[in-house]
Amino acid sequence: MKAGREEDLSLTVPDDVRMARADRMLANLHPDLSRSRWQKLFQDGRVWMDDRVLRQKDKLRAGDAVQVSLPPIQPLELVPVDMDLDVLFEDENLLVLNKRAGVVVHPGAGTGSDTLVHGLLHHCKGSLHGIGGTERPGIVHRLDKETSGVMLVAKSEQAFHPLAEQFAERQVKKYYTALVARVPGAANGSIDQPIGRHAVHRTRMTCRADGRSALTDYSVIEAYGKAAALVRLQIHTGRTHQIRVHMKWLGHPILGDTLYGFRPALLPDTAKALDIPRVMLHATEIEFTHPVTNEIMRISTPLPEDFEDLQILLRKNYPVAESH
């Protein structure tokens, strides 16, 4: 359904379906609309049969013909902005892009008109099918402002809810690459430490016993003397700042991440002058099930230029040891 246009929907209960409540029956017959959206349609008197407005608790049986009036999708009150997006995959239901470092995902207090949502509204103009009755991109997960890499966006309600469920059920595989201070003693390992809000600094997260469970696997890809290491990570949970918090807990904060423990004093004298442009964290790869075709999707993107530039400097100044 496109923005600005009301549509009528006709649904007939199949002959092989048992009698059930109208709200449950219609949600099963037309799963493109969420249950909360169906609830709102009933409350607004937009569902009827034989010129009679149906209530949610009314019963429907085989052969019943139901009419639904879908209200126009309301445009999101943001001005679309032409933004140079690096799109890795796109179809009518979803989009996967390579987010640049420095781009904020959601509009909010203190943000301008250059968020990723502004850019997506422009890129997807005319192809957004409405999520929760609003013409908007469905952000099913997010990356921090300074984190670059693979990000998944729903373009339709049919895709949004199954994708959100996959993330909630931990069915999505997410892989990252980071440059960290010093070299972990073990070439690979797991960090199983619960994460919660910092008791004093409320904008930060921290490892704490009463936090929510969080699990991160890591492996060292390349070591630069004792100064730094390139690390591959997989997160099995999706806690706020999870990788950044876990790497700080391990004693190897991400280069440039001053919020979570990085400072030049952690590096050898010869490395303190390195130009570290940002938090050196990149979402390398994502694996999920396509919500419509059920195809297993595995999409990756190479390290960005600022990563490669910093690696060149590290390789130039320190003996390189690769880990397999």
Known catalytic residues are: 144
Other residues' Cβ atoms within 10 Å of the Cβ of residue 79 = 9
Residue 150: how many other CB atoms lie within 10 Å: 23
Greatest extent of the chain over all pairs of C-alpha atoms, in Å? 81
Contact 301, 98 (CB under 8 A): yes
Per-residue CA distances from 74 to 71, 77, 79, 122, 271 (Å) = 9, 9, 14, 16, 53
Q: How far apart are CA 216 and CA 49, in angstroms?
A: 53
Q: How far apart are the first and last CA of the chain?
A: 50
Residues 6+ apart with CB under 8 A from 110: none
Closest CA to 115 of 161, 151, 160, 83: 83
Determine the residue type at 304: P
* CA distances (Å), origin 193, targets 117, 187, 199: 32, 19, 17
Other CB atoms within a 10 A radius of the CB of residue 8 amount to: 9
Task: Read off the tokens for 132.
Answer: 């929760």
Q: Please report, to the nearest 10 degrees, the dihedral formed by the alpha carbons of residues 279, 120, 299, 101 taken in order.
A: -10
